[in-house]
Structure 1
Amino acid sequence: MSNLPLFRDPWAKSEAWRKHPVFSNRAMFRNLFPGFGIAVVAFSAYVVVDNLYLSASKSDSKHH
């Protein structure tokens, strides 16, 4: 019984959710922009394909 704290917090169970890892600053920052990584990859792929397609079509058609 000597290892128990001298003063016990009656609200400890009610406040325990605040210490959960889901509410840490790292988790909050990681979930700030959900899907941002996928969007960057998709947009980069679109730009690369568009540039390759346009460069191929420009060299094929000579109007002058």
Structure 2
Amino acid sequence: MLNTPFRDPWAKREAWRKHPVFSNRAMFANLFPGLGIAIVAFSAYVVVDNVYLSKRKPEISHH
């Protein structure tokens, strides 16, 4: 037992910290879930709205 290297008795309990789910990259990727879909949907809405409104002639109303 004297020749064996030091073994951490808490290594098993601390192993979850090294799991890929808890990495910084995974944390930042899940920081704003759905943000990419929301940006695409809003961009599509703005494009469709601008195209639709640019083809439509303004109505002149006389009160």
Please confirm whether the aligned pair reaches a TM-score higher than 0.5, indicating the same fold.
Answer: yes
Unpaired runs of at least 5, structure 1 = none
Unpaired runs of at least 5, structure 2 = none
Cα-to-partner distance string for 1:19-53 (whole Å, 9 max, x where unaligned): 00110111101111000000000000000000011
Query: What corresponds to 1:57 in structure 2?
Result: 56
Please identify runs of 4+ aligned residues in structure 1 that moved more than 4 A: none
Percent identity between the two aligned chains: 78
Matched residue count:
59
So what's the TM-score if we normalise by structure 1? Answer: 0.82
Query: What corresponds to 1:38 in structure 2?
Result: 37
What is the one-letter code of the residue matched to 2:26?
A
What is the one-letter code of the residue matched to 1:37?
G
